[in-house]
Amino acid sequence: MQKVYFDHNATTAIDKKVLSVMMPYLETQQGNPTSQHSFGRHARTAIEEAREQVALAIHAHPSEVIFTSGGTEANNMIVHGAAIKNPQSTLVRSNIEHPCVARPMEALTHQGWHQDLLKVNHDGVIPDEAYKSITADNISLVSVMLANNETGVIQEVSRLSDFAKGKKAISHTDAVQAFGKMEVRFDELEIDAMTLSSHKIYGPQGVGALILNKRSDIEPLIYGGGQEKNLRSGTENIAAIVGFGKACELISESLKESSMRSRELQTTLEFHLKTLGAEIFSEKVKRLSNTTFFAFKDIEGSTLLTALDKKGFAIASGSACSSVNKEPSHVLLAMGIDEDLARGALRISFGNQNTINDVTSFIETLKKELQTLKQLTAIAA
């Protein structure tokens, strides 16, 4: 059976070129970057080269790149790091942030901090009024994701930047989903901090970065030997960092072409989905070119997902980042989407290997599965 992977916002297959630069650090290069001998120096050089590759890809300075174990750690690091420096302050985020921004903020509300939410509109966009509704003065951090992992909606980060400057707060954007799918320039966004993850851009899992400018003073999340400018102690995962650096280089080279290709696939897919009666969430607003979040009225998302999986198509359901969470997507609920429709939500996220044939064969299969499910529903009614 042909297998088609349509879940690139969840993770991507490691690029062969990435794997080949990592292999020496898994096989024979055993240096610890803090050691002074040649093995150690070699490892240190490899990390610094990767730091430059990451910085170059997002137009940051290499000294602003702090390697972490991934997006989750980088997000926890900025939330805790900013909060600890400013006890009892307010933390601001949108109500559609990934749980690795939302949960640490919520946890801090039990320890003396406050949380204020920027509420999205029906399209999943944060309107200007949302910023105006925040009246707190002592704000330590404002965090708004650049692109949403479920809808693909892209936020206007300049608003976040202006708001945070006015409040003298640290501004942060989670760019885990945006990076590699659209141009992301740290220098032009005028924000203080940004989160990246390697495994969304054909790099290895378990590595990412917090990009942090020099003005922002945060407390470390992990203390120890003082690696990563004292902000993230622990012996570096050299092979993964080297792979992340290479993935950044490759993604920058192919960005224009890959986003054009995925936009074509997205247009075709959405045309057919709508013909079949699907609702496409956030259809009319600026979205990532690889992401389509949709639902069919009266069809349960997980049932359709399972049926399509059996036919070889890997797609995601509403709460894609947590298979244990059976609640409808918090993003759709925040947008005011009806709970029943939200339960039907499915996400397709294209990647480099997908072709137009994948889309047409998916649509053919989907038609058949929908027919079967509708017949079953009719019998049960």
Ligand X SMILES: Cc1ncc(COP(=O)(O)O)c(C=O)c1O
Q: Which is nearer to ligand X, 78 or 307 (CB)?
A: 78
**Tokens at residue 136, please?**
């707190």
Using CA atoms, how far apart are residues 307 and 105, in angstroms rounded to an integer? 37
Q: What is the DSSP letter of 147?
A: B
Which of the residues 167 through 196 are near ligand X (CB under 6 A)?
174, 176-177
Q: How far is the CB of 103 from ligand X (least distance, A)?
A: 11
| C-alpha–C-alpha distance, residues 364 and 324, integer Å | 30
Residue placing its CB nearer to ligand X in the complex, 12 or 86: 12
Give which of 342, 319, 35, 70 is closest to 197, Cα–Cα: 70
Q: How many CA atoms lie within 13 A of 354 on its CB side?
A: 32
Strands 4-5 and 346-349, how do they pair? unpaired
Q: Which of residues 5 and 296 has its CB atom nearest to ligand X in the complex? A: 5
**Mask for 274-313, x = binds ligand X (CB under 6 A):** ----------------------------------------
Spell out the alpha helix ranges (H) of the chain. Answer: 16-27, 38-58, 71-85, 99-109, 128-132, 157-167, 186-189, 238-275, 301-310, 330-334, 339-342, 356-380
**Residue 200 CB, nearest approach to ligand X (Å):** 7
Is 68 in a helix, a strand, or coil?
strand
Residues 12, 72, 143, 354: which binds ligand X (CB under 6 A)? 72
Cα separation, 211 vs 63, in Å, equals 9
Q: Read off the amino acid at residue 198.
A: S
Q: Name the residue nearer to ligand X (CB basis): 240 or 299.
A: 240
Among 12, 90, 151, 197, which residue interacts with ligand X (rule: CB under 6 A)?
197
The single-letter DSSP state of residue 14 is: P
If the CB atoms of residues 145 and 247 are measured against ligand X, the closer one turns out to be 145
Window contacting ligand X (CB under 6 A); options: 54-62, 70-78, 180-188, 241-249 = 70-78
- Site for ligand X contains 352 (CB under 6 A): no
Task: Tell the residue number behind the tokens 């759709």, with chain if given.
Answer: 332
Concatenated DSSP letters for 180-235? Answer: TTB---HHHHT-SEEEEESTTTTS-SS-EEEEE-TT-----SB-SS-TTTTTB-S-
100 binds ligand X (CB under 6 A): yes
Question: By CB under 6 A, which span of 67-75, 132-140, 156-164, 370-378 interacts with ligand X?
Answer: 67-75
Is 349 near ligand X (CB under 6 A)?
A: no
Query: Applying CB under 6 A, which of residues 70, 220, 318, 344 lies at the interface with ligand X?
Result: 70
Binding mask 123-162 for ligand X (x = CB under 6 A): ----------------------x---x-------------
Residues catalogued as catalytic: 321
- Name the residues that contact ligand X, by CB under 6 A: 70-72, 75, 98, 100, 145, 149, 174, 176-177, 197, 199, 208, 321
